[in-house]
Structure 1
C-alpha cells in the first residue's frame, strides 16, 4: 500500500528532469547564481538595481522615525488586506494613472512573486492552461508550473504579443490566464502599444480570459503608456506590483489591485496560506510614498538608467551584439549575440570569471532565443563586465 501511494504522488519539479545535470538554462539559473556570486559588481544578468543605486540612507532614517512613533506596529498581525494607509496611498497613485481602485480593491502582499502565486492558486486548477509571452520573465513559467498547469508561449513583438498567435492559442488551448509585463516588458524593454492593448482586451472578452498585468518596472518610465488596466478598468485585468525593484529587495512590499469581489477571495487565500502581510514593510513603504522620498528617488534614478542604457548599448555594439530594440526607459536591453555564439554556453563560461549573465532561452518557453541575452544596464558600470565578455566573444 505504501508503495502504491509513493508511486501516485510525484514531487514537484520546476525544471525538466533531462536538464537537472546541467542547469545552465533552467528558469531559476539566473536567480540562483545572482544571489550567491562573490562579486556584486559582476551581475549584469540579475533583475535588480545595485545597492548603491537604492535609497538605503533614506530608508534607515524612515525606519528610525517609525520606531519612535507610538502607533508603529512591531508586534501584532496586520489586518487581512494589509496596512490601510498604504492601500489608500496606492489607490491614489493608481488614480493618477486613471485606474479606479479604492483601498478595498487592493490587497497587500510580500512581493509581486507572492502576488502571482496567489493569483495562480485562486484562478487555476491542475491541468489548466496559462499564456505567457515568449520571451517573458523567467519566473512566470516556473510559478505557473508550481500550480501544475500547462504554460504556452505567445511570440512577443515590438508592440506586444503577436495577436494572431494569441488568438490561435486561445482557440487551441482555452487558457484561463495570460500573464504579462505590459510596460517595460521583461526581458525586451518594450511597451505594449495602445492598439495592441485594445485588440488584446477584445480577445480576452471573447475567450473569457483573465489578464494579469505585472507593473513592477512601470515606475522607471516617467512617460509610460497606459498599459492594460487603464483601458480595462480592472474588469478583466488583475494588476500587481511591488517596490522590490525600485526601492529595496529586502523591503518585500507588493500589492494586487482587482475587482472587489476578486480581492475578497484572494484575501481569504492569503490568510489561509500566510496569515496576512507584515505591517512593518508597509509602514516603511507608505512613509516613502507620502513624504516625497520615493518621487525624489525616481527623479534621479530614471536619467541615471538612461545614461547607462546608452553606454551599455554602445559597449555591446562594439562587441558585435545587436539590440533587438533600443528601449526608451527601464533597466533591460535584449541583444542578439554575434553569429556562431550560443548564449547559454557563453553564460556557462562567464561563471568561471564570476560573471553572471542572462542567457536567452531562460526567458523562452519555446527555447527559441539561443542567440539572445538580457543585460541589466544598471549592473554594467564595471569595465570588467565588457572585458570578460570581449574575451568570451573573441
Structure 2
C-alpha cells in the first residue's frame, strides 16, 4: 500500500493510469498475489484507487492542476518569482542583470571546462551516447564523499544521488515527502524559486522571519506548534538573499525543535565553496538523520553543465533514485557528470575557487561603498558569496524601481520577490558580480522615480 501511495505522491502514477497487474506487482514486491489483492482492495476502500472489473485497478481522482500561469493571490506580476526568473533567463547577453543569481562567464573556470570537454571527447563512445547509472557516476560520488568527510559529514558514495540540478534535487524530495495540502516552512525572505517550486506541488507555505543569525527561533517554534509543517527548506550558510550565516547555537536549537516535531529539513548548500571558512552545517550536526543536503556546481563552475546532488540516509536515496528514474530516466548523463568530475579533479580548481573568493571580497567592499553613496544600505555584510541584501533610501518602493529599471534595460530583483509575506517592499538584492557601468547610470534615476513604499 505504501509503495502505491509513494508512486502516486511522486506522480510516477497519475490520475486515471492503470496500476501494475496483480501478478506483476507481486513479483516486484516479492509477496504473494493474494497480498497484492488485499492491498489493492484496501486502497479502493480508501478511495485512492478504483477497480474496473475485467480491466484492472486505476488511480482515482483528477490529476492535480499544475497551472503556473495563474497569479498567486495578492501578488503583483512584477514581483512574481516566475516572472523575475524568466526576465533574467531570457535577457540578451549584454543586458545588465544585477537581479540574477549567477556570475558572468569571466568568473568561471573556462580553461578547466574546455580541458574537461576535450578529455571527454577522447573517451569511449558510451560517454557521449549512453544514459548514466540510476544513482549517478560512481567516480563523482566517491569524490564528493571524500569532500564531505573533510568537513565532518560522514556520507558514503551510496548516500549520494546525482541529479539534473539543485532545483531538481529539491523537486524530487518534495515528490517523495509531500502530498497536496501538506505544510512547508520557508524563510522570510528566501530564495524565490523555493516559492515557485512549492506552488507546483500544491502545498501550503508558511514562513518564519530570518535574522542575521538564522531563523527567528521563537517564530520557528510557534509555526511548528500551530501549523505542524512536514518540511523546512533553507540555506544555512550565505543565505539567499540576505547573505547571513546561521550560528552554531541557532543550528543546535533548530535541530532540537525539528526532532521534537518530526520535521525534515532540506539544507541547500549551493554556496558552500564561496565561504572563506566553513560555518556550522545542519547536516554535519544532525548526521543526516532529519537533514537532507542538496547542492550543485552552478555558482562556481558552470550553470550550463547541469549537475546537482542529494546527500541523505540510504533509504531516502533509494526512494529518490526510483523517482528520478520514473520521472526523467535517471540523473545527469556521462557528459555532465564527466565534466564536473574532471574539473573538480583538476589541480587548478581549488586555486580558481580561492581566487573567486578573493575577487568577491574586493567586489563586495567596492559595491557596498558605492551603494552606500546612493543611500542604499546592506542589511548585513556577508562573509562570502555574491549577494547584498539592501534597504533602499527613505523606504523607496523596490518593485516600482525594478519596473523603471526594466524599461531602461536593467534587470533588478525587488525585495518582495523573496518575501512570502510581502514584507520587504523597500529591499533589493544586488548581485555584486553583475554591476556594469550602466547599472550605476540607471540606479539613481529609478530611485528618484520610485515613490516611498511606506
**TM class, shorter-length:** over 0.9
Aligned to 2:444: 390
Q: 2:246 aligns with which of 173, 192, 214?
A: 192
Q: Structure 1's 313 and 41: CA in aligned 2 closer, same or farther, altered over 3 A? A: farther
Q: 2:382 aligns with which of 303, 327, 348?
A: 327
Q: Return 222-231 or 11-20, whichever deviates more.
A: 11-20
Q: Retained in 1: the 8 A contact 2:120–2:127?
A: no
Q: 1:151 aligns with which of 205, 213, 221?
A: 205
Structure 1 residue 21: Cα displacement: 10
Structure 1 residue 244: Cα displacement: 1.1
SS in 1 for 2:81: coil
Asked if 1:26 corresponds to 2:80, the answer is: yes
Q: 1:78 aligns with which of 114, 125, 132?
A: 132
Q: Deviations over 1:8-56 (max 9, x none)?
A: 7674234653679962110122211112223535110000010111112
Q: What TM-score, normalized by structure 1, do the two folds share? A: 0.95
Aligned to 1:356: 411
Q: Deviations over 1:110-150 (max 9, x none)?
A: 10000000000000011000000000000001111211101
Q: Retained in 2: the 8 A contact 1:129–1:151?
A: yes
Runs of 5+ unmatched residues, structure 2: 1-61, 449-454
Q: Retained in 1: the 8 A contact 2:148–2:154?
A: yes
Q: Retained in 2: the 8 A contact 1:331–1:377?
A: yes
SS in 1 for 2:289: coil
Aligned to 1:5: none
Q: 2:178 aligns with which of 124, 127, 139?
A: 124
Aligned to 1:3: none
Q: Retained in 2: the 8 A contact 1:337–1:371?
A: yes
Aligned to 1:172: 226
Matched residues in 1 for 2:147 and 2:372: separation? 38
Aligned to 2:255: 201
Q: Return 348-357 or 382-391, whichever deviates more.
A: 382-391
Q: Structure 1's 280 and 18: CA in aligned 2 closer, same or farther, altered over 3 A? A: closer
Q: Deviations over 1:171-215 (max 9, x none)?
A: 111111000011100000011000000000000000000010001
Structure 1 residue 328: Cα displacement: 1.5
Asked if 1:378 corresponds to 2:433, the answer is: yes
Q: Structure 1's 19 and 76: CA in aligned 2 closer, same or farther, altered over 3 A? A: same
Runs of 5+ unmatched residues, structure 1: 1-7
Q: Structure 1's 27 and 21: CA in aligned 2 closer, same or farther, altered over 3 A? A: closer
SS in 1 for 2:353: helix
Q: Structure 1's 18 and 179: CA in aligned 2 closer, same or farther, altered over 3 A? A: closer
Q: Structure 1's 91 and 172: CA in aligned 2 closer, same or farther, altered over 3 A? A: same
SS in 2 for 1:156: strand
Q: Structure 1's 94 and 192: CA in aligned 2 closer, same or farther, altered over 3 A? A: same
Aligned to 1:17: 71
Aligned to 1:115: 169
Structure 1 residue 374: Cα displacement: 0.3
Q: Deviations over 1:232-281 (max 9, x none)?
A: 11111000000011111110010000001110011101110001021211
Q: 1:305 aligns with which of 336, 360, 379?
A: 360
The within-5 A match list for 1:42-81 is: 42-70=96-124, 73-81=127-135
Structure 1 residue 308: Cα displacement: 0.8
Q: Return 132-141 or 12-21, whichever deviates more.
A: 12-21
Q: Structure 1's 98 and 315: CA in aligned 2 closer, same or farther, altered over 3 A? A: same
Structure 1 residue 332: Cα displacement: 0.4
Q: Deviations over 1:294-319 (max 9, x none)?
A: 21210110011111111111111000
Q: Structure 1's 79 and 340: CA in aligned 2 closer, same or farther, altered over 3 A? A: closer
Q: Comparing both chains, which one has the higher relative contact order based on Cα–Cα distances under 8 Å and sequence gaps of 6 or more?
A: 1
SS in 2 for 1:74: helix
Aligned to 2:285: 231
Matched residues in 2 for 1:30 and 1:51: separation? 21
Aligned to 1:106: 160
Structure 1 residue 104: Cα displacement: 0.2
Structure 1 residue 293: Cα displacement: 3.1
Residues matched between the structures, number:
387
Matched residues in 2 for 1:11 and 1:148: separation? 8
